[in-house]
């Protein structure tokens, strides 16, 4: 095993990101749910704020496992125009898919943040964090969507990943930090001693803790 749990993985990953410590232009975004405990440890070690970045796949009509695009926090949508064209998916169908997944994103954002608005990413260096990458499809969609929100730089950071996946994502973002690329790589969970599912309540608690205002000095 490489890591005891996601918190341990986050502390290890943070050591690879010390060049971003204490910078006012840096924001850590965790992909819920499993990426949030990792992101929490990274943000805490670097002394920077964190938030969640929710991504939902837009599944093809009748083939929900086939992604025709993705929609993310902030209403950002990216489409695979080749798949849309080949399958003959209409604009109306795309809008219906988008509306459904947008509702799910809004529901989860209310659940995770309550009334707190998302942190604006424009002009910032954004560190996108997950608990690991196998195929990397979710992270790639997240990075593509995030690009539309005009960050200054996108850094993908994970405790472990398949080496080939790191190479693919490296061509699509500004920097990739994979703390480990063990092989053979079959699944993220095989490298964790404890890999229980992160709950919605844990995400809420970690976000609230990460974004508490500093205590007043008496």
104: β partners: none
| 202 and 172 both lie in a single domain | yes
**pLDDT one-digit tens code per residue, 162-181:** 999 999 999 999 999 999 99
3-state secondary structure of 200: helix
**pLDDT one-digit tens code per residue, 121-166:** 999 999 999 999 988 888 988 999 899 889 999 999 999 999 999 9
> pTM here?
0.89
Question: Which residue segment(s) compose the domain that 70 sits in?
Answer: 56-113
Triad 98, 52, 191: Cα angle to 5°: 105
25, two tokens: 């232009």
| 119 and 108 both lie in a single domain | no
| 189 and 125 both lie in a single domain | yes
- Judge whether 30 lies within some domain: yes
- Judge whether 1 lies within some domain: no
The CATH code of the domain that includes 37 is 3.40.50.2020
Domain count, the chain: 2
| 60 and 34 both lie in a single domain | no
């Amino acid at each position: 095993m490489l890591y005891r749990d996601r918190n341990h993985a986050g502390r290890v990953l943070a050591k690879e990101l010390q060049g971003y410590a204490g910078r006012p232009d840096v924001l850590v975004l965790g992909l819920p749910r499993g990426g949030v405990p990792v992101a929490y440890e990274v943000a805490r070690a670097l002394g920077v704020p964190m938030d969640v970045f929710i991504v939902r796949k837009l599944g093809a009509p009748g083939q929900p496992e086939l992604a025709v695009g993705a929609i993310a926090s902030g209403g950002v949508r990216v489409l695979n125009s080749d798949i849309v064209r080949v399958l003959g998916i209409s604009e109306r169908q795309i809008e219906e898919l988008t509306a459904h997944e947008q509702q799910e994103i809004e529901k989860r954002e209310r659940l995770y943040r309550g009334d707190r608005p998302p942190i604006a990413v424009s002009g910032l260096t954004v560190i996108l964090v997950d608990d690991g990458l196998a195929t990397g499809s979710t992270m790639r969609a997240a990075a593509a969507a995030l690009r539309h929100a005009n960050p200054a730089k996108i850094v993908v950071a994970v405790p472990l990943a398949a080496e080939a996946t790191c190479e693919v994502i490296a061509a699509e973002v500004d920097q990739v930090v994979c703390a480990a690329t063990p092989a053979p790589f079959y699944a993220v969970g095989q490298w964790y001693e404890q890999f229980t599912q992160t709950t919605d309540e844990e995400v809420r608690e970690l976000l609230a803790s990460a974004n508490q205002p500093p205590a007043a000095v008496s």
